């Protein structure tokens, strides 16, 4: 294995920060990064305290950190209002009339909200929530399409000190019910529908079904009219956003809340079937998202910053709402699919709004590659100056395509590693300062003591695979799993003693200290006693000219423990064949080693994915094991994909 890692290294290419970018960047060189990083690790309280001091506090904190592993309190004694930091503090100068949100709906409507306008809408909606019984610390479910009102609802909760729990609009009614029950929410904010690929997603109907089946704590449903689709309004329970907003004033004082006041709960999948309610609090979370947005996206007043994530995911929380707005940035928000009505929708948007920063996911990038460069070439993307990637390891081929075709070879790419639990970006290049390299998230952010440990807790040597951990607390870390402290301790803090956070990812560091994320440890296979990252095999497969996308899972094998099964989608113009099957197996064996040679290759038209673009490996494993697909599959992008994979059997 290590020999193969070495051979990968020979081919690695380093991209130095463009000189003209470094002139304006906040950190200008690798040496400057290293100096600042070393100081931040030696004295994290000094670094984070200085970052937090750039925010508006109604009462200063007494102590930066109180750490009783695994429970952290940041900026203890301090009071702030998160929505004030995202809105009010930008109203005293020129930013008041600057666009906060530029929005485009899937059918093509356009709206712009200045900071002043956004502030007014948030204040009004905070008063609507209040009038509908929402009190400090009450939980509010937000189940919305990607419209400005989704962000308005989040910020209105923050203004009141209520706790939002956004449920992604692609989730099922059961998911809404489970989450509402778990956090005992009292109010749901939703819409009559949202648009996705020209169809209306029946959000209100899903809420009705959820409430018919349980979630008795919900007393009020506030419905935004988005699509005009008919909905049933239950008297005494359901009210319209537009009716309620007319009844209230636009004055809503931003009360200061304790730094550790809960801000939101966001549910994410764990190793069991029950999603975990990840709890984030106010001062620390805002400091983390503010600081990383500032340094990593290098936000300037001239930027139009587009994060393509939905607010239903942590990326939509941290880098569509709280991080950029606390920086006073202009955020672009697009409701719909990238291939609607044509496969050039993203490029059209970038050209029209002169987007300068694009933050998206590798899965999207690979789809674009598959669709072909002709869709990109129709548009002028010269406004772009910085690109970002998040959510999974980006394969070097996709990175290079992003760099060349989208970034015109001039935009640094920030490959950002982080998690729902970490709240903010943890490992990423710093544009203008640190070099980038296809496939690696490179170096930790200031104050983040990331390391890779072996089974015994010893730090791994260069290119030795191990478990990714964070050895010091950081402000935007999760505080607990809602209602389940035991699970919080077990999942993240049990593996190693002494307050070391277990990320659940496998990784290695190269000789320069760059972090290479292999993938979730639960996706690491054990083949004949050898550890094998599924992401590694996938990377090898997609490096073949015929392959658009690949997903690799293990299936039980009598001899080897686990056999490697690869699901492969081909680029347009290539057809599945016995010869190609053989060739791909040989290709993987050549790139990684015989151990990684797939036992089966199954060609498929598409891979089953969640709406956020994550390949559902659990499903693939079940298909491989011949089992019937069980559990909640409502996050699938396309059910027919599962059905056809099940029918096709092993084509090997």
- Among the residue ranges 134-142, 499-507, 562-570, 576-584, the one whose residues contact ligand PRX (CB under 6 A): 499-507
CB 561 within 8 A of CB 528: yes
**For the purposes of burial, counting CB atoms within 10 Å of the CB of 273, is it exposed (0-12), middle (13-18) or buried (19 or more)?**
exposed
Query: Nearest distance from residue 357's CB to ligand PRX, in Å?
Result: 16
Interacting positions 256-315 with ligand PRX (CB under 6 A): 268, 314-315
We find the least distance from the C-beta atom of residue 516 to ligand PRX, in angstroms, to be 9
- Residue 577 burial (CB count, 10 A): 10
Whether 475 and 260 have beta carbons less than 8 Å apart is answered as: no
Site string for ligand PRX, 335-374 (x = CB under 6 A): ----------------------------------------
Instruction: Report the C-alpha gap between 268 and 419 in whole angstroms.
Output: 10
Q: Name the minimum Å distance from CB 393 to ligand PRX.
A: 4
Sheet holding 99-104, edge to edge: 110-114, 99-104, 331-334, 305-307, 357-360, 386-390, 413-416
Stretch that binds ligand PRX, among 41-49, 289-297, 388-396, 585-593 (CB under 6 A): 388-396
| The token pair that represents 441 in the structure block | 């998230």
Contact between 622 and ligand PRX (CB under 6 A)?
no
Contact at 8 Å (CB) between 102 and 304?
A: yes
Q: Toward ligand PRX, which CB reaches closer, 138 or 549? A: 549
- Residue 208 or residue 505: which is nearer to ligand PRX going by CB? 505
531 binds ligand PRX (CB under 6 A): no
Who's near 579: CB < 8 A, 6+ residues apart?
none
Q: Measure CA 235 to chain center.
A: 37
Binding residue (CB under 6 A) for ligand PRX from 419, 442, 514, 569? 419
C-beta of 435 vs 519, nearer to ligand PRX: 519
- For every residue of 30-86, DSSP letters joined together read HHHHHHHHHHHHH-HHHHHHHHHTTS--SB--SEEEEEETTEEEEEET-EE-HHHHH
Q: Is 392 in the site for ligand PRX (CB under 6 A)?
A: yes
With CB under 6 A as the contact rule, the residue among 206, 252, 416, 476 that binds ligand PRX is: 416
* H/E run at residue 503: strand 501-509
The residue among 314 and 584 lying less far from ligand PRX, judged by its C-beta, is 314
Candidate list 122, 183, 443, 517; residue touching ligand PRX; CB under 6 A: 517
Only segment of 185-193, 516-524, 555-563, 571-579 that touches ligand PRX (CB under 6 A):
516-524
Least separation, in Å, of the C-beta of 391 and ligand PRX? 5
Q: Over the Cα atoms of the chain, what is R_g?
A: 24
User: 348 by DSSP, 3-state: which?
Assistant: helix
How many angstroms separate the first and last alpha carbons of the chain?
Answer: 26
Out of 260, 415, 538, 599, the residue judged to bind ligand PRX by CB under 6 A: 415
| C-beta closer to ligand PRX: residue 227 or 315 | 315
DSSP codes, 315-327: HHIIIIIIHHHHT
Task: Mark the segment that binds ligand PRX (CB under 6 A) among 8-16, 336-344, 503-511, 589-597.
Answer: 503-511
Residue among 17 and 393 whose Cβ is closer to ligand PRX: 393
**What is the dihedral sign for C-alpha 41, 45, 46, 51?**
positive
Of 123 and 361, the one with the shorter C-beta distance to ligand PRX is: 361
Question: b/e map of 398-409 (b: 16 or more CB within 10 Å)?
Answer: bbbbbbebbbee
169 makes contact with ligand PRX (CB under 6 A): no
DSSP code for 628: P
Q: How far is the CB of 280 from ligand PRX (least distance, A)?
A: 12
Work out which of 82, 390, 542, 615 binds ligand PRX, going by CB under 6 A. Answer: 390
Q: Which of 391, 407, 435, 533 binds ligand PRX (CB under 6 A)?
A: 391
Shortest separation between residue 612's beta carbon and ligand PRX, angstroms: 7
Distance CA 536, CA 97 (A): 48
> In sequence order, which residues have a C-beta less than 8 Å from that of residue 307 and are 6 or more positions away?
315, 316, 319, 320, 324, 331, 359, 360, 388
536 binds ligand PRX (CB under 6 A): no
Binding status of residue 418 toward ligand PRX by CB under 6 A = yes
Among 327, 330, 373, 318, CA closest to 355: 330
| Residue range at the interface with ligand PRX (CB under 6 A); choices 93-101, 238-246, 501-509, 539-547 | 501-509
What track of x and - describes contact with ligand PRX for positions 427 through 466 (by CB under 6 A)?
Answer: --------------x-------------------------
- The closest alpha carbon to 357, from 391, 395, 397, 323, belongs to 323
CB-nearest residue to ligand PRX:
420
User: If binding is defined by CB under 6 A, does position 505 make contact with ligand PRX?
Assistant: yes
Residue 143's H or E segment, with its range, is: strand 139-143
Residue 101 or 413: which CB sits closer to ligand PRX? 413
In angstroms, the CA 34 to CA 24 distance is 18
Chain residues binding ligand PRX by CB under 6 A are: 268, 314-315, 390-393, 415-420, 441, 503-505, 517, 519-520
């Amino acid at each position: 294995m290590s020999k193969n890692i070495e051979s990968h290294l020979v081919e690695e290419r380093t991209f130095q920060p463009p000189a003209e970018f470094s002139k304006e960047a906040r950190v200008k060189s690798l040496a400057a990064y290293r100096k600042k990083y070393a100081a931040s690790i030696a004295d994290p309280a000094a670094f984070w305290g200085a970052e937090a001091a750039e925010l508006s506090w109604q009462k200063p904190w007494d102590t930066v950190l109180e750490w009783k592993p695994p429970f952290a309190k940041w900026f203890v004694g301090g009071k702030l209002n998160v929505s004030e930091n995202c809105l009010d503090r930008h109203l005293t100068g020129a930013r008041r009339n600057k666009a906060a949100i530029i929005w485009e709906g899937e059918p093509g409507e356009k709206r712009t909200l200045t900071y002043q306008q956004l502030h007014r809408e948030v204040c009004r909606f905070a008063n609507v929530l209040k009038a509908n019984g929402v009190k400090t610390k009450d939980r509010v479910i937000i189940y919305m399409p990607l419209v400005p009102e989704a962000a308005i609802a989040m910020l209105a909760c923050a203004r009141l000190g209520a706790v939002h729990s956004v449920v992604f609009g692609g989730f099922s009614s059961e998911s809404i019910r489970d989450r509402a029950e778990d956090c005992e929410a009292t109010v749901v904010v939703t819409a009559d529908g949202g648009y996705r690929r020209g169809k209306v997603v029946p959000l209100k109907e899903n809420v009705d079904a959820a409430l018919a089946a349980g979630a008795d704590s919900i007393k009020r449903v506030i419905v935004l009219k988005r699509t005009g689709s008919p909905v049933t309004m239950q008297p005494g329970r359901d009210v319209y956003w537009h009716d309620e907003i007319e009844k209230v004033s636009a004055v809503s004082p931003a009360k200061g809340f304790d730094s550790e006041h809960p801000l939101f709960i966001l549910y994410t999948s764990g190793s069991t079937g029950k999603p975990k309610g990840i709890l984030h609090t106010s001062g620390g979370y805002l400091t983390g998202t503010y600081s990383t947005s500032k340094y990593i996206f290098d936000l300037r007043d001239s930027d139009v910053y587009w994060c393509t994530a939905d607010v239903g995911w942590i990326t939509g929380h941290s880098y569509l709402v709280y991080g950029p707005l606390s920086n006073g940035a202009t955020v672009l928000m697009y409701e719909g699919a990238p291939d609607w009505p044509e496969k050039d929708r993203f490029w059209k948007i970038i050209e029209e709004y002169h987007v300068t920063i694009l933050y998206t996911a590798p899965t999207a990038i690979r789809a674009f590659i598959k669709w072909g460069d002709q869709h990109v070439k129709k548009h002028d993307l010269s406004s772009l100056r910085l690109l970002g990637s998040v959510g999974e390891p980006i394969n070097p081929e996709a990175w290079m395509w992003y760099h060349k075709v989208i970034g015109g070879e001039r935009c640094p790419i920030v490959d950002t590693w982080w998690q729902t639990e970490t709240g903010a970006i943890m490992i990423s290049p710093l544009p203008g300062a640190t070099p980038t390299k296809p496939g690696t998230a490179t170096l930790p952010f200031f104050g983040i003591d990331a390391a890779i440990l072996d089974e015994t807790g010893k730090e791994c040597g260069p290119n030795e695979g191990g478990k990714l951990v964070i050895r010091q607390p950081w402000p935007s870390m999760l505080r607990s799993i809602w209602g389940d402290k035991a699970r919080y301790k077990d999942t993240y803090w049990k593996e190693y003693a002494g307050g070391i956070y277990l990320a659940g990812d496998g990784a290695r560091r190269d000789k320069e200290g760059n972090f290479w994320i292999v993938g979730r440890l639960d996706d690491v296979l054990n083949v004949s006693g050898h550890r094998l990252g599924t992401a590694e095999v996938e990377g090898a497969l997609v490096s073949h000219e015929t392959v658009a996308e690949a997903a690799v899972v293990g299936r039980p094998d009598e001899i080897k423990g686990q056999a490697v099964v690869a699901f492969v989608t081909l680029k347009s113009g290539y057809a599945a064949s016995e010869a190609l099957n053989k060739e791909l197996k040989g290709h993987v064996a050549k790139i990684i080693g015989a151990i990684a040679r797939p036992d089966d290759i199954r060609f498929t038209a598409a891979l089953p994915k969640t709406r956020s673009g994550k390949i559902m490996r659990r499903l693939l494993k079940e298909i491989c094991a011949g089992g019937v697909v069980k559990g909640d599959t409502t996050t699938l992008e396309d059910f027919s994909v599962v059905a056809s994979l099940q029918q096709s059997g092993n084509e090997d």
